[in-house]
Amino acid sequence: MSLSPSPSAVPPPPATGRAPYAENPARSKGRRVPEADSRTRTAFARDRDRVIHSQAFRRLKEKTQVFVAHEGDYYRTRLTHSLEVAQIARSIAQALGLDADLAEGVALAHDLGHPPFGHAGEDELDALMRPYGGFDHNVQTFRVVTELERRYPRFLGLNLTWETVEGVIKHNGPITAKLSAPAYAPVAAYNAGWDLRLDTYASAEAQVAALSDDIAYNNHDVDDGVQAGLFSLDDLAAVPLIGPQIAAARADFPEVDEGMVRLEAVRRMIGVMVEDVLAETARRALAHGVDSPEAVRLLGRPLVGFSQDMAEDLSRLRAFLHERMYRHYRVNRTRSQARRLLRDMFHLFLGDPDTLPPEVAERSAGEDERGRARAICDYLAAMTDRFAIEEHRRLFTLDLR
């Protein structure tokens, strides 16, 4: 059973409003291509705004989370998920005295590299690209912000600050062990010219974004799973975290319908998880004497995290979702269709490059097979669910009307 911290157990933010280990935009390591400062925004706020204005961010509106985007307007997409992550990250960062703009920016950017059809799309692209360097959505996100977005005349990518780029690629921890993997070759090459200290942890703000992702998707997958009819509130009664919140919501509001009980229980579960992060992070900072951003990076473990009790409860909740939602036959059918759809288009484009749109063909002109495969993969990864379905129909269905 969860040992959830009470509000009184969560320490107030620092009296100065800024924790000693918070990042300071005035002390940023800057941008790879130097630019004049903004008169109206800090460097981190400017990063956040560049993410919001990117094409990749707009495409998230029709990229799947679990359900394909055309299956209904009530389910989360990558865009609504990213907004929920950003809201949670900003709230946690403010409560801890961290830089909320940096946490929000990393949160908004964290899924920019996801292909259509969620993890099924990622798995299929990785399989297709195995002879050509593989595919990893975190690396693709990194490439989106450092290379693939083309909106500025002076540089490729978004030219984000060092701290935001670091947070994008390292929000889950050091990645030096991954650099030998072919999929991480672009990160290693970039790092050779601008050291992101890949052997250390990222800022506390980036860690907040990572934990906010966990909070958001566990809660909205419960919400979406019930709405989709994959399981019921009664099925969740014995599941840690959500079960006690359902019981409490029913007890407090006996007259409301099950839909309102679901919403109230999910809202309360978010609150419990946020309170746990605040209390545990404050405990770790005090126990390890973390007093600077550098101390966060060199701590040797995450500063921001869940308590052991919360981590165990989350593990049991994820096991339930894995069994009852992610492996549900309806979800598996859609995944199978999605993988076949991407596979068809990849092989067609690679074998018959004249079928590629001109802008994609231009990027791959003069490349060897490996380079052409990467350009095709980038094209497929950028697609929304709906566009991928329509593109497949145009390519493989002869319209005789």
Backbone angles phi, psi at 77, to 5 degrees: -110, 175
337 and 315, same structural domain? Answer: no
The answer to whether residue 5 scores a pLDDT higher than 50 is no
244 and 359, same structural domain? Answer: no
**Residue whose entry in the numeric block shows the structure tokens 């800022």:** 203
106 and 176, same structural domain? Answer: yes
pLDDT for the residue 366: 83
129 and 49, same structural domain? Answer: yes
Alpha-carbon gap, residue 101 to 86, rounded angstroms: 10
Contact in structure between 101 and 44 (CB atoms under 8 Å): yes
The answer to whether residue 397 scores a pLDDT higher than 60 is yes
**Residue whose entry in the numeric block shows the structure tokens 């909740």:** 317
- Written as six digits, the tokens of 43 are 């460097």
Nearest to 138, CA basis, from 105, 167, 104: 167
Backbone angles phi, psi at 64, to 5 degrees: -70, 155
The answer to whether residue 330 scores a pLDDT higher than 90 is no
325 and 265, same structural domain? Answer: yes
Nearest to 209, CA basis, from 287, 141, 291, 158: 141
Nearest to 155, CA basis, from 50, 60, 59: 50
pLDDT for the residue 75: 62
Q: Per the domain annotation, does 367 fall within a domain?
A: yes
The DSSP string of 310-368 is HHHHHHHHHHHHIIIIIT-HHHHHHHHHHHHHHHHHHHHHHH-GGGS-HHHHHHHTT--
Q: What are the tens digits of pLDDT across the range 139-171?
A: 999 999 999 999 999 999 999 999 999 999 999
110 and 51, same structural domain? Answer: yes
Alpha-carbon gap, residue 293 to 99, rounded angstroms: 11
Q: How many domains does the chain have?
A: 3
- Mean pLDDT computed over 1-7: 43
Lowest mean pLDDT: which of 6-15, 40-49, 53-62?
Answer: 6-15
Output 400 or 306, whichever has higher pLDDT: 306
pLDDT for the residue 148: 97
Q: Per the domain annotation, does 36 fall within a domain?
A: no
Last residue in a domain, options 145, 161, 193: 193
Q: Per the domain annotation, does 337 fall within a domain?
A: yes
345 and 303, same structural domain? Answer: no
pLDDT for the residue 11: 54
Q: Give the CA count within 13 Å in the CB-facing half-sphere of 75.
A: 20
Alpha-carbon gap, residue 42 to 101, rounded angstroms: 8
pLDDT for the residue 318: 94
Alpha-carbon gap, residue 147 to 332, rounded angstroms: 33
Alpha-carbon gap, residue 32 to 291, rounded angstroms: 27
Nearest to 88, CA basis, from 292, 279, 293, 278: 278
184 and 222, same structural domain? Answer: no
Residue-averaged pLDDT of the chain: 92
Contact in structure between 79 and 116 (CB atoms under 8 Å): no
Contact in structure between 209 and 141 (CB atoms under 8 Å): no
Q: What are the tens digits of pLDDT across the range 224-264?
A: 889 888 899 999 999 999 999 999 999 999 999 999 999 99
Q: How far is CA 196 from CA 49, 67, 91, 160, in A?
A: 22, 35, 27, 13
Give the CATH number of the domain where residue 183 resides. Answer: 1.10.3210.10
The answer to whether residue 69 scores a pLDDT higher than 50 is no
Q: Is 255 exposed, middle or buried (0-12, 13-18, 19+ CB in 10 A)?
A: exposed
Q: What are the tens digits of pLDDT across the range 75-129?
A: 678 999 999 999 999 999 999 999 999 999 999 999 999 999 988 999 999 999 9
- Mean pLDDT computed over 351-355: 94
Last residue in a domain, options 166, 193, 220: 193
163 and 47, same structural domain? Answer: yes
Cβ-based neighbour number of residue 333 at 10 Å: 10
Cβ-based neighbour number of residue 257 at 10 Å: 8
Contact in structure between 161 and 30 (CB atoms under 8 Å): yes
- Written as six digits, the tokens of 259 are 């839909």
Contact in structure between 324 and 316 (CB atoms under 8 Å): no
What is the maximal distance between C-alpha atoms in the chain? Answer: 72
Q: Per the domain annotation, does 216 fall within a domain?
A: yes
Q: Could you list the residue range(s) of the whole structural domain that residue 275 is in?
A: 204-329
- Written as six digits, the tokens of 267 are 């809202």
The answer to whether residue 74 scores a pLDDT higher than 90 is no
The answer to whether residue 387 scores a pLDDT higher than 60 is yes
Q: What share of the chain has pLDDT > 90, as a percent?
A: 82
Q: Per the domain annotation, does 19 fall within a domain?
A: no
pLDDT for the residue 216: 94
Q: Per the domain annotation, does 1 fall within a domain?
A: no
Last residue in a domain, options 306, 329, 352: 329
Q: Per the domain annotation, does 26 fall within a domain?
A: no
Q: Per the domain annotation, does 22 fall within a domain?
A: no
234 and 127, same structural domain? Answer: no
- Mean pLDDT computed over 212-218: 94
349 and 337, same structural domain? Answer: yes
Q: What are the tens digits of pLDDT across the range 21-38?
A: 999 999 999 999 999 999
Beta-carbon contacts of 283 under 8 Å, excluding residues fewer than 6 positions away, are none
183 and 222, same structural domain? Answer: no
| H runs (alpha helix) in 136-202 | 137-143, 162-170, 185-193
